[in-house]
Amino acid sequence: MKIDILLGLQWGDEGKGKIVDALSPDYDIIARFQGGPNAGHTIEFNNTKHVLHLIPSGIFHKNKVNIIGNGLVVDPVVFRKEVESLGLGTETVRERLLISTKAHLILPTHKMLDAAHEASLGEARIGSTLRGIGPAYTDKASRNGMRVGDLFRKEFRDIYHARVAEHSRKLKGYDYSDNPGESEEEWFEALEYLKQFTTVNVDYYICRSLKEGKRILAEGAQGTMLDIDFGTYPYVTSSNTVAAGACTGLGIAPSCTGEVFGIFKAYCTRVGSGPFPTELNDADGQLMRDRGNEYGSTTGRPRRCGWLDLPALKYAIMVNGVTRLFMMKADVLSGFSEIKVCRSYTFNGSEAIELPYCLADIESLNYDTLPGWRCDITGCHSWDEFPEELKSYIEYIERETGVPVTIVSVGPDRSSTIYR
């Protein structure tokens, strides 16, 4: 058995949550491999909507194991609120969820450091979700992190206070208040809550499960263009969002990986700062935002919108080794008389199909224009019901990328998913 990986190919919010939920019946284990509460994965079914931040998107299915991998940074306060908001009851979530002992903890002071650092950047701010992600991963990399497994060690409080003292020194450098205040108490209470959940060595667990023939789906957060190495650095998140991140974030050997499902929107969005070549600051961009309800699932911020960027998509397919493409939010483009796709960039005076080192240096964009479709596609149940123009758009993408599009999503609900 091989582990399949599902991840975002753009700047996040591609619809990963919806598809992981839809594919969960085909798997025994659904395992998140990186990120933290900066993620917002939306799932809709039976006229209810859930937004998950830390919990894998297979949680609503019976008899499935959901795993929070070592690659995540976990805020216990967010975790507790999230479990309590699911409507499943703590006991049911406890039965369906395993947490890696090696996952790192987000401390209250990590959130303060995030806010202080962003404020210090002024105009150059990243547009972070301010969930403490960057500072928690910084502590991980500098070997000062606190992990879930530390919760069960008697030195836990001493280590915590040493970390907070260090963070307070840093915060003074930012001229920022150094008292975590009430949130510290809430954090300790939330840790007691978290301790009720089963913690495991996910690496051994996954290895054993594979030997037993279990089917495993690794769920990514964010998207390839936000990857710490391959994204639009420094306007990125602090983890590896690419397929390789599934190996380091769960303890999977590269030889055990199978399909790589790459999710992309029929257009592009980005929330936060940083270069976004195809961004539309016009009525078309606003129309995409309105029709696609493009407001952040975690922060509520309006998402920047633009046409599909093929060089960026091809790059993401390359670094991830994508074997199947899933196209999301096709319905949002219904009604546009023309669909534009950025085919190449002009960079240093000549046409470029590869991403330059700095996307902000792109001089202009070269677009292909395809005919749009006028009809509503939200009621379509099969490929055959799609308008010819939508089929042509999808076939154009397949030709350009060399990868088949095997799922097309036409609405937020679980059921609005067309398999080919």
The residues annotated as belonging to the active site are: 13, 41
- C-alpha separations of 394 from 136, 326, 333 in Å: 40, 10, 12
Task: List the single partner that 129 binds among ligand GDP, ligand IMO, Mg ion, none, CB under 5 to 8 Å by kind.
Answer: ligand IMO
State the DSSP H helix or E strand holding residue 312, giving kind and residue range, or none if neither.
helix 310-320
Question: By rule CB under 5 A, what count of residues binds Mg ion?
Answer: 3
Q: Would you count residue 297 as binding Mg ion (CB under 5 A)?
A: yes
Q: Would you count residue 328 as binding ligand GDP (CB under 6 A)?
A: yes
Which residues, in sequence order, are CB contacts of 211 under 8 Å at separation 6+? none
Burial class (CB in 10 A: 0-12, 13-18, 19+), 51: middle
Q: Would you count residue 309 as binding Mg ion (CB under 5 A)?
A: no
**Chain-centroid distance, C-alpha 35:** 7
State the DSSP H helix or E strand holding residue 96, giving kind and residue range, or none if neither.
helix 90-96
Q: Would you count residue 245 as binding ligand IMO (CB under 6 A)?
A: no
10-18, 240-248, 256-264, 400-408 -> range binding Mg ion (CB under 5 A): 10-18
Distance separating alpha carbons of residues 346 and 106, to the nearest angstrom: 42
57-65, 127-135, 278-286, 344-352 -> range binding ligand IMO (CB under 6 A): 127-135
34-42, 147-155, 308-316, 364-372 -> range binding ligand IMO (CB under 6 A): 34-42
Q: Would you count residue 270 as binding ligand GDP (CB under 6 A)?
A: no
User: Helix (H, G, I), strand (E, B), or coil: what is residue 66?
Assistant: strand
Contact residue for ligand IMO among 97, 105, 126, 377 (CB under 6 A): 126
Of the pair 13, 294, the CB lying nearest Mg ion is at: 13
Which residues, in sequence order, are CB contacts of 121 under 8 Å at separation 6+? none
Question: Cβ 330 to ligand IMO, closest distance in Å?
Answer: 19
Residues 15-44 that bind ligand GDP (CB under 6 A): 15-18, 39-42, 44
Q: Would you count residue 100 as binding Mg ion (CB under 5 A)?
A: no
Of the pair 146, 407, the CB lying nearest Mg ion is at: 407
55-63, 162-170, 222-230, 353-361 -> range binding ligand IMO (CB under 6 A): 222-230
- C-alpha separations of 262 from 98, 172, 195, 324, 354 in Å: 25, 43, 34, 6, 19
Distance separating alpha carbons of residues 267 and 279, to the nearest angstrom: 10
Task: List the single partner that 196 binds among ligand GDP, Mg ion, ligand IMO, none, CB under 5 to 8 Å by kind.
Answer: none
Which residues, in sequence order, are CB contacts of 300 under 8 Å at separation 6+? none
Residues in contact with ligand IMO by CB under 6 A are 8, 11-13, 35, 38-41, 126-129, 131, 133-134, 221-223, 226, 237, 271-272, 297
